[in-house]
Structure 1
């Protein structure tokens, strides 16, 4: 039996758009809804034979640099510390427009290529402990043997990548920073499958509800689901083009060996995109199904009312005739006229019921 997951609607973000009005392009101003001041930096440095992991809260002791065959993953959690992010960006020669996009959570997913680095923006989805959908802005920078990752909050979907690095599972510690970039992107895409499955479960649940106990609240739930599907579709749709651009890049930062793995990520992103498109169509059809079902129910009600009215029309006619105040009516002088009229009316009543039953109108 499938566990019922109660997903809430993805929160609509409110951005500090007014803070950007009149500012020069490239101004680093955080625009998002998680400006709670929490900020930390996780630094993982590794090679095939070594691994080091530490967490700091600022770069007062200098920006970490690696040499030789070691790869460095700098994971910045929290985008509201604009000065710290600007300091880190300048140390890796990131242009102001890149740093602006890092802290602007309204930026759409994309890939930008520069001589010294490759910049990617994605939206990371995951389910919290209450099975609520959470969407988070993630920026990745590949530069030399370092990958910079910027995310809004503390929680993420990269624990599997960390475990592979800590325990030297697979090939990740034997490859360069471009493979680490692929692994992080792949972890984000894998979570899209989970979100996709949850959307499908909600669609199937609503579809069953339409035929079982549809009411006015059902229409509201369908509208919420349609908006949720569109909210998920908007940041996921460009991902397949992002992966395609990374695969076709001539930048030396991405090796041919890593491009082989990018084809797998491209296949997954295409599959996710097709699923989301299918769910969007299904959510639209849900409303049509709901309206059709409600119309059928109304037709059933009207059919019963029409049949009842048809049955009582001849009875009403008889009652109307004998309700007229004429002095001379032959039947009024008969001893059993009252019972005869009742008998005739009951006969008509049951005769019509039998007729409607045989016609399968009842």
Structure 2
């Protein structure tokens, strides 16, 4: 557990243990904002100590531990509780690794509970330490906004990678459709569904924060939250566009397979059609009649072969003029 306390002109950071929580009278001391960052949810003793120290509601503690729930916003008066989903370092695996981040925000304190260490929170931490931007001049609600904004920004890189993969997949479907392409389409459709499940309720969460449902968020911060809300809406639109593109790609794949099958059937049909008259000629001389005068001619056999060749060439020429070949 890491603690970062700051005001406009100073900051202090430290790591504290479970045993030291109950003995501390205050976390704020001479600072305006305190950020307590808890990484990992396996230490139940730590969560219980924090729950007792900061009077965290039992339902909120259950929400922190339960990582299978959807993003949500709950107002408990003295603080509000937010559950968010973040993407934890995705490198185009089968499933997008989505982890949970829970956040308790009070008047002067922000407590974050990370299922896995969220590296994009390091950038926010560094901004506080280096005193970049407005973050040291603002209150705890602005820190909460900065953390939410960092989580939302983590989706942009994933959508960019998915967009590049979609372009490559589209070219592949046009020039060389195969079974792996259809597997890639279904995999990306599952990934889009994962992103949509994470982002759709996030829109409602940020909307509640932006509309001033709680008095802990000041009007000067709602302007920034409105910008994050717009980003979420834009990403949802991108996801819907990608899903439509994937559905169209599935149709392209089926059309390509059908066209390839049609080409194969066309060639086979042409070959079969050419051999129909040839088969007729050969079967004619397979009949057991005694009186077939051409059988006695010296050049009858080469003549029949020549006739068969002329028939084949004439049929090929006819198919070509009809543009069937």
Q: What's the TM-score, normalizing by structure 2?
A: 0.94
Residue aligning to 1:186: 149
Cα distance in 2, alignment partners of residues 57 and 323 from structure 1 = 100
Residue aligning to 2:15: 55
How far apart are residue 57 of structure 1 and its match? 4.3
Residue aligning to 2:323: 360
How far apart are residue 49 of structure 1 and its match? 0.7
Cα distance in 2, alignment partners of residues 201 and 57 from structure 1 = 45
2:34 is aligned with 1:72: yes
Cα distance in 1, alignment partners of residues 18 and 166 from structure 2 = 45
How far apart are residue 205 of structure 1 and its match? 2.3
How far apart are residue 127 of structure 1 and its match? 2.3
Q: 270, 279, 288: which is aligned to 1:316?
A: 279
Tell me how large the CA RMSD over aligned residues is.
1.7
Equivalent residue runs for 1:258-297 within 5 Å = 258-297=221-260
Residue aligning to 1:176: 139
How far apart are residue 60 of structure 1 and its match? 2.8
| Larger Rg over CA atoms | 2
Cα distance in 1, alignment partners of residues 51 and 244 from structure 2 = 42
Task: Show structure 1 runs of 5+ residues with no match.
Answer: 1-40
Equivalent residue runs for 1:186-265 within 5 Å = 186-265=149-228
Q: 1:101-137: per-residue Cα shift (whole Å, max 9, x none)?
A: 0010011101111211111111011425x55542111
Counting helix residues as a fraction of each chain, which structure ranks higher? 2
Residue aligning to 2:84: 122
Q: SS state of the match for residue 35, structure 2?
A: strand
Q: What's the TM-score, normalizing by structure 1?
A: 0.84
Cα distance in 2, alignment partners of residues 193 and 122 from structure 1 = 16
Task: Show structure 2 runs of 5+ residues with no match.
Answer: none
Q: SS state of the match for residue 103, structure 2?
A: strand
How far apart are residue 58 of structure 1 and its match? 2.6
How far apart are residue 194 of structure 1 and its match? 0.9
Residue aligning to 1:81: 43
Q: SS state of the match for residue 308, structure 1?
A: helix
Contact 2:21 2:49 in 1 (8 A): no
Residue aligning to 2:71: 109
Which runs of structure 1 show a deviation greater than 6 angstroms over 4 or more consecutive aligned residues? none
Contact 2:182 2:250 in 1 (8 A): yes
Residue aligning to 1:28: none
Q: 284, 299, 311: which is aligned to 2:262?
A: 299
How far apart are residue 256 of structure 1 and its match? 0.5
